[in-house]
């Protein structure tokens, strides 16, 4: 493990330095992706076929005739460790929000392809049976899970609650969610084939760090004299600000469909920060002219980790949790529809002909194709 690695000589703390070494994971990912792709033809046995364009997208899509089925499994990551630290400091449980974060990881990915999430399954793997003995914490997890399902209109189908001593660390829990949804009617499919120059980029506000960048955030706390209780805004501690639950965006995508709007592409802005705006496999230039406000906790992290804008926007969501790429004539209505759902939104830029790159003009930052290798 690399969790003891600290920052560079100038004090900058980057994501790789915070303990995740993608060089070790990525060769496996490539092999796994190839093996996975080779299994697609097996669907032919059942008379079905994959939507090949969904390979490499945030959810996998199968054509079953009358509609498409999308499915996914997603992990919370290390945000629960912050909840545990804050529980020790404050005496209250933070797992209601953690539950929402976990569901958001799955749902916000599933909706990128145009799916309506229908069923969520819970994967709660504890380090031992005694994790469940803290009734207040366990009930908070249940309550938050249920509430997130209600917000998204998904049925909680069931799940697994294994006790995995020897695999999951004692006192910890590994949280994940699987989600299955339908793309129905089939015109709702959005895997990027209709994205074109002239389209508009609408960014939906985040609530904070969401559930990506937590390794960095946890590393940073070691530098803070008051640790998790350091104020990032008046009356708001660093720990509490980090634990703001991830926004659930499916009410927006469902409302868009009700209004007759089908996004041409969607990107859930998670790991790799704004580089995720380069996710579409095509060759386009994305020009950003307007930035969302940066949540105080993210501004604080950027400042304390001594990151320049390029590093910050390449790692954190910096206020943008989800990107909708829509026809220009739909953009203003998109913003209104999101706001009607209580989620801040703005027209942030557009899609142009040109080399594959992202220009964040207000900050003078450019990311190129070489900055995001997900496939």
CB of residue 257 to a copy of itself, shortest distance in Å: 11
CA 313 → CA 151, 298, 358, distances in Å? 29, 10, 11
Q: How far apart are CA 271 and CA 75, in angstroms?
A: 12
CB of residue 53 to a copy of itself, shortest distance in Å: 13
Q: Which is nearer to a copy of itself, 145 or 284 (CB)?
A: 145
CB of residue 287 to a copy of itself, shortest distance in Å: 30
CB of residue 162 to a copy of itself, shortest distance in Å: 5
Q: Which is nearer to a copy of itself, 133 or 332 (CB)?
A: 133
Q: How far apart are CA 160 and CA 332, in angstroms?
A: 43
CB of residue 148 to a copy of itself, shortest distance in Å: 10
Q: Which is nearer to a copy of itself, 120 or 372 (CB)?
A: 120
Return the number of other C-beta atoms located less than 10 Å from residue 9's C-beta.
Answer: 5
Q: Decide if 372 contacts 275 (C-beta within 8 A).
A: yes
Q: How far apart are CA 134 and CA 155, in angstroms?
A: 26
**3-state class (DSSP) for residue 94:** coil
Q: Which is nearer to a copy of itself, 27 or 355 (CB)?
A: 27
DSSP 226: T
Give the residue from 255, 312, 280, 109 showing the smallest Cα distance to 201. Answer: 280
Q: Which is nearer to a copy of itself, 125 or 299 (CB)?
A: 125
Q: Which is nearer to a copy of itself, 14 or 285 (CB)?
A: 14
Q: How far apart are CA 205 and CA 318, in angstroms?
A: 9
CB of residue 78 to a copy of itself, shortest distance in Å: 6
Q: Decide if 346 contacts 274 (C-beta within 8 A).
A: no
**Which tokens hold the place of 114?**
């145009």
Q: Which is nearer to a copy of itself, 116 or 314 (CB)?
A: 116
Would you list the DSSP string of 144-203? HHHHHHHHHT-EEEEEE--B-BTTBPTT-EEEEEEEEEEE-SGGG--SSTT--TT-EEEE
CB of residue 196 to a copy of itself, shortest distance in Å: 27
């Amino acid at each position: 493990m690399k969790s003891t690695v600290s920052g560079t000589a100038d004090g900058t703390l980057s994501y790789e330095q915070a303990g995740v070494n993608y060089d070790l994971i990525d060769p496996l990912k490539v092999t796994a992706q190839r093996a996975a792709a080779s299994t697609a033809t097996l669907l032919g046995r059942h008379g079905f076929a994959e939507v090949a364009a969904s390979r490499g997208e945030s959810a996998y899509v199968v054509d079953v005739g009358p509609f498409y089925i999308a499915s996914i499994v997603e992990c919370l990551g290390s945000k629960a460790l912050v909840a545990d630290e804050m529980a020790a400091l404050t005496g209250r449980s933070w797992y209601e929000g953690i539950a929402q974060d976990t569901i958001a990881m799955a749902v916000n990915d599933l909706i990128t392809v145009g799916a309506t999430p229908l069923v969520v399954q819970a994967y709660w793997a504890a380090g031992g049976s005694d994790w469940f003995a803290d009734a207040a914490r366990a009930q908070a997890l249940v309550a938050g899970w249920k509430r997130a399902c209600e917000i998204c209109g998904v049925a909680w189908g069931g799940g697994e609650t294994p006790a995995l001593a020897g695999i999951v660390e004692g006192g910890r829990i590994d949280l994940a969610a699987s989600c299955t949804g339908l793309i129905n009617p089939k015109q709702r499919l959005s895997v990027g084939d209709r994205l074109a120059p002239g389209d508009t980029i609408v960014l939906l506000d985040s609530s904070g760090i969401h559930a990506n960048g937590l390794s960095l955030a946890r590393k940073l706390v070691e530098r803070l004299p008051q640790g998790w209780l350091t104020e990032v805004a008046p009356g708001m501690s660093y720990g509490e600000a980090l634990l703001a639950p991830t926004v659930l965006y499916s009410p927006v995508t469902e409302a868009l469909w009700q209004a007759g709007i089908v996004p041409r592409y969607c990107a859930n802005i998670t790991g790799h920060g704004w580089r995720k705006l380069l996710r579409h496999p095509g060759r386009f230039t994305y020009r950003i002219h307007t930035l969302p406000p940066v949540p105080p906790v993210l501004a604080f992290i950027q400042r304390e980790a001594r990151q320049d804008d390029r590093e910050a926007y390449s790692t954190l969501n910096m206020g943008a949790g989800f990107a909708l790429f829509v026809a220009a004539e739909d953009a203003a209505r998109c913003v209104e529809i999101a706001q009607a759902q209580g989620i801040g939104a703005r027209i942030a830029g557009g899609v142009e002909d040109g080399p594959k790159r992202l220009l964040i003009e207000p900050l003078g930052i450019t990311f190129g194709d070489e900055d995001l290798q997900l496939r």
